[in-house]
Amino acid sequence: MDFAKAIISILGLQDVEIVDLKIFSKQWRIQLVLRQQRSRCFCSSCGSSFDLVKSWEIKYLKAPPLGIYQKVDIKLYQMRGYCIDCGKSEVCRLDWIHPNFTSMTCGFAEVAGRLMEEITCEAAARILHSKSSTMWNLDQWRMQHMMQFLRLPEDVDLSYMSADEVHFRSKPNYERHKAILGKKQTPEFITNLVSYNDGKVITNAAGRDSKALESCLSVLSQGQRMSIERFAVDMHEPYISVIEKMCPNAEVTVDRFHITQSLNKAFDELRKLEFKKAQQNCRSFEKGMLEPSRRFMLVTKHPHLLSKVEQKLIERLKRVNENIHTGMLLVDYLHRALDKKTVKGFRQTLGLWYQVIRESKLSPFLKLAKLIRKYRRKIEVYIKSRLTTAVSEGLNNKIKVLKRMGYGYRNKTSFMRKILQRCGYLNHVFINTNIFLLRVPNPAI
Residue 254's H or E segment, with its range, is strand 251-254
Answer whether residue 139 is part of any domain: yes
The answer to whether residue 440 is domain-embedded is: no
- The confidence score (pLDDT) of residue 375 equals 95
Spatial neighbors of 197 by CB under 8 A, at least 6 apart, are 157, 159, 160
Domain contains 265: yes
Give the separation between CA 88 and CA 45, rounded to whole angstroms. 10
Confidence of residue 398 (pLDDT cuts 50, 70, 90): very high
Cα angle 303, 305, 311; round to 5:
50
Q: Specify whether 275 is located in the same domain as 304.
A: yes
Q: Are residues 22 and 115 in the same domain?
A: yes
* 291 CB neighbour count, 10 Å cutoff: 11
Considering the domain architecture, whether residues 139 and 214 belong to the same structural domain is answered as: no
How far apart, in whole angstroms, are the C-alpha atoms of residue 72 and residue 12? 13
**Residues contacting 386, CB < 8 A, separation 6+:** none
Residue 309 has pLDDT above 60, yes or no: yes
Q: Is residue 445 part of a domain?
A: no
Average pLDDT over residues 238-254: 95
Distance CA 334, CA 260 (A): 9
Same domain, 285 and 317: yes
Question: How many domains are contained in the chain?
Answer: 3
Q: What is the model's pLDDT at position 380?
A: 95
Select from 105, 125, 147 the last residue of a domain. 147
Non-local (6+) Cβ contacts of 83 within 8 A are: 43, 45, 46, 48, 50, 51, 89, 90
Mean pLDDT of 377-387: 93
> Model confidence over 95-105: pLDDT tens digits?
899 999 999 99
User: Does residue 445 carry a pLDDT above 70?
Assistant: no
The mean pLDDT value for 402-412 works out to: 88
Closest Cα to residue 438, out of 26, 70, 12? 12
**In this structure, are 69 and 141 located in the same domain?**
yes
pLDDT surpassing 70 at residue 444: no
What's the pLDDT tens digit per position in 48-84? 888 788 889 999 999 999 989 989 999 999 998 888 8
Check if the beta carbon of residue 259 is closer than 8 Å to that of residue 338.
yes
Its domain, for residue 91, covers 3-147
* Among candidate residues 125, 147, 169, the one where a domain is terminated: 147
Does one domain contain both 338 and 401?
no
Report field, pTM of the whole predicted structure over 0.85: yes
Which residue, 385, 414, 440, sits at the end of a domain?
A: 385
DSSP for residue 226:
H
Rounded CA-CA distance 193/202 in Å is 6
Tell me the per-residue pLDDT of 289-305, one tens digit each, with 9 for 90 and over: 999 888 888 888 787 88
| 110 plus 191 within the same structural domain | no
Task: Decide if 301 is inside a domain.
Answer: yes
User: Residues 373-393: what's their mean pLDDT?
Assistant: 92
pLDDT surpassing 60 at residue 128: yes
- CA-to-CA dists, residue 445 to 109, 435, 442, angstroms: 21, 15, 6
Residues 6+ apart with CB under 8 A from 3: none
Residue 357: is its pLDDT beyond 60? yes
Instruction: Please say if the pLDDT value at position 39 is more than 90.
Output: no
Same domain, 279 and 339: yes
Shared-domain flag, residues 124 and 217: no
Greater confidence, 184 or 332?
332
The answer on 336 and 361 residing in a single domain is yes
Distance (Å) of CA 435 to CA 91, 110, 428: 24, 9, 11
- In this prediction, residue 217 carries a pLDDT of 96
Regarding whether 54 and 19 lie in a shared domain, the answer is yes
Q: Which residues contact 141 (CB under 8 A, 6 or more apart)?
A: 100, 101
Please say whether the dihedral angle defined by the alpha carbons of residues 324, 327, 333 and 334, taken in this order, is positive or negative: negative
| Residue 434 forms part of a structural domain | no
**417 lies in some domain:** yes
Domain assignment present for residue 432? The answer is no
pLDDT band at 429 (very low <50, low <70, confident <90, very high): very high
Q: Report pLDDT digits (tens) over 174-197.
A: 665 555 555 678 899 999 999 999
**Rounded Cα distance, 69 and 308, in Å:** 62
Do 128 and 165 fall into the same domain?
no
CATH of the domain at 398: 3.30.420
